[in-house]
Amino acid sequence: MADAAGLMEAAGARFSSLELIGRGSFGDVYKAFDKELNKEVAIKVIDLEES
């Protein structure tokens, strides 16, 4: 997933307030709000083409 917009589309309505907080050799890490758990979470998106 190259950007937050693509991740939001894949995540559906469960997550909001996506913010990129880090990048590494395996992918990107986003901070988001999980509406089902009612708390902030971290989402790691692994780039299978690069890993």
31 marked as part of a ligand binding site? no
State whether residue 17 is helix, strand or coil. Answer: strand
State whether residue 4 is helix, strand or coil. Answer: helix
Displacement of CA 46 from its chain's centroid (Å) = 10
In this structure, what DSSP letter does residue 28 have?
A: E
Annotated binding-site members: 44
Annotated binding-site members for ATP: 44
